[in-house]
Amino acid sequence: MDTRDAVLATHQQEIRRGTVVVAVLALLRSPGYGYALLEALERSGIEVDANTLYPLLRRLEKQGLLTSDWDTEGGRPRKYLQTSPEGKQLLARLVDEWNRLNASLTSIVEGHEEDA
Amino acid sequence: MHSLVERYIAVATRHLPEGSRTDAARDIRVMIDEMVEARIVAGEDPDVAATALLNELGDPSVLARTFEDQPRYLIGPRHYDQYISLMKVLLTWIPLTAFLALLAINVLTDDRSLVDSFVQGGLDAAWTGVVVASQIIFWVTLTFAIMEWAERSGTEPEPADQWSISDLPAELPQRQIGLGEAAWGIGMMVLTGAMLVIQHIRGIEAFVRNDSVRETLDGHVVPFLNPDIPTWIAVATFGLVLFTAVAEMVKFAVGSWTLPVTIAEIASAIGFVVLPALAISRWGLVNPEIHDIWANDTTKWLTGNRFEQIFLLAMIVISVLSIYEAVRGYFDYRRRSSETPIPGEDFVFIV
């Protein structure tokens, strides 16, 4: 049943893809650095690989949704990231979308047609 | 600190665009440093941690691509189907035609035994087929890659909300220009280009195996075209051949007689009359030595300007026909899409 597992994995990945962005923008409302974020995501039950997360952080930063600061005190310099005001606005919209989708899906899965 | 990490980052960012290389390198370094640190904190040996991590991260250039959104294809989905079908037709018919034609010439004009000339001529023709095939692969791929690149770096596509129902063509879009037509056009250009080169480098000996002619030639290279024709005419002719071949590919990709396609077709047709006419009027098209050869043969009637006249007349007829077809195709295309303005006249870059 290898192919079934592969199919499942593909669909799971499709569902998860956008959720990481929401989680990242939400967690980084207070500043944090990459690895700490990775651990926080893991603790919250969101599985993401380092080589997915770091490129994602870079893209979000380029889109102006995250701001970065270098902390050069002590040991090696660390790159701290924080959700920008623009990122917070986007986060609010995404959370709305998430809630809407969740409600729709719940009602569809439970078999009640939603009257919008 | 870790020369291994330095090397990994250098390899990873080597192929990234200049502008974002240092930036991407810094971000990749942050990731590696933080991951290594975490491993050490977790109790791993500092010397082993970096090696183990880099092993896990895998091929550096693959990693780098996830850090930089660069298209990872040469020919995108928009042209993929046309690219493949054009390639299939061209690679089937042109090398095969070249092979068979050359084999026939080799066998018919060779005075050695039939088996010998079949083997030798077959090998010769097969090699030519391979060379022709690789030329086709190269030029077709290059043309499509440039089209892809031009569209990518051109203006942003119109946002979807600017589209309205009236943008739909009045009738279902029908291909005006088929694969066969494009393949024929490109094939002719490949053949013309090859003939021009061969007649110059190897002389008419490459085409004629008649014994008496070979004796007359006595081993020295006699080009068919007049060597006095200046280089710029030759360069212009090659340019025209290349332009026409590319225009044929674009024409096939677009599929209709849009204005740029029509203009390119007309320009090419005019070029194929003007260049030979210029050469004939100023220097003579055919090498004077060829006239000597013709004079000694049953081909006496070709001497004087007779060959040039016939050739030019043929070129004029062909050109007029193709201009007629292009103009007719253009008006047909206009008529079909007359209900709505012609959408954007795509492939702006060709004009």
Whether A50 sits inside 8 A of B69 (CB atoms) is no
A54 contacts chain B (CB < 8 A): yes
Q: How many CA atoms lie within 13 A of B148 on its CB side?
A: 18
> Cα distance from A10 to chain B (closest Cα, Å)?
18
Residue B278 CB neighbour total at 10 angstroms:
14
- Find all residues with CB under 8 Å of A74, minimum gap 6, and list them: none
Dist CA B329 CA B333 (whole Å): 6
Comparing B288 with A92, the larger pLDDT belongs to A92
A34 contacts chain B (CB < 8 A): yes
Question: What count of residues does chain A have?
Answer: 116
Residue B266: per-residue pLDDT = 92
Q: Looking at the predicted structure, is the pLDDT value of residue B344 above 80? A: no
Among B24, B28, B34, beta carbon nearest to A33: B34
Comparing A20 with B216, the larger pLDDT belongs to A20
Q: Looking at the predicted structure, is the pLDDT value of residue B346 above 60? A: no
Instruction: Give the start-end residues of each E strand in chain A.
Output: 32-33, 66-71, 78-83
Dist CA B284 CA B272 (whole Å): 16
Locate B322 and state its tokens.
């193709």
Residue B167: per-residue pLDDT = 63
Q: How many CA atoms lie within 13 A of B222 on its CB side?
A: 19
Residue B307: per-residue pLDDT = 82
Query: pLDDT digits over A46-59, tens only?
Result: 888 888 899 999 98
Mutate to test the interface with A, among B2, B22, B27 (most CBs of A within 10 A): B27
The number of helices, as runs of H, and strands, as runs of E, in chain A is 4, 3
**Is the separation of the CB atoms in B285 and B304 below 8 Å?**
no
- Find all residues with CB under 8 Å of B274, minimum gap 6, and list them: none
Query: pLDDT digits over B64-108, tens only?
Result: 888 876 667 888 887 888 888 888 888 888 888 888 888 877 777
B18 burial level (CB within 10 Å; 0-12, 13-18, 19+): exposed
Mean of the per-residue pLDDT values for chain A? 88
Predicted model pTM? 0.49
Residue B141 CB neighbour total at 10 angstroms:
14
**Is the separation of the CB atoms in B50 and B3 below 8 Å?**
no
pLDDT mean over A13-36: 90
Q: Which one, of B70, B28, B1, lies nearest residue A34 by Cα?
A: B28
Q: DSSP letters of B95-149?
A: HHHHHHHHHHHHHHH--S-HHHHHHHHHHHHHHHHHHHHHHHHHHHHHHHHHHHH
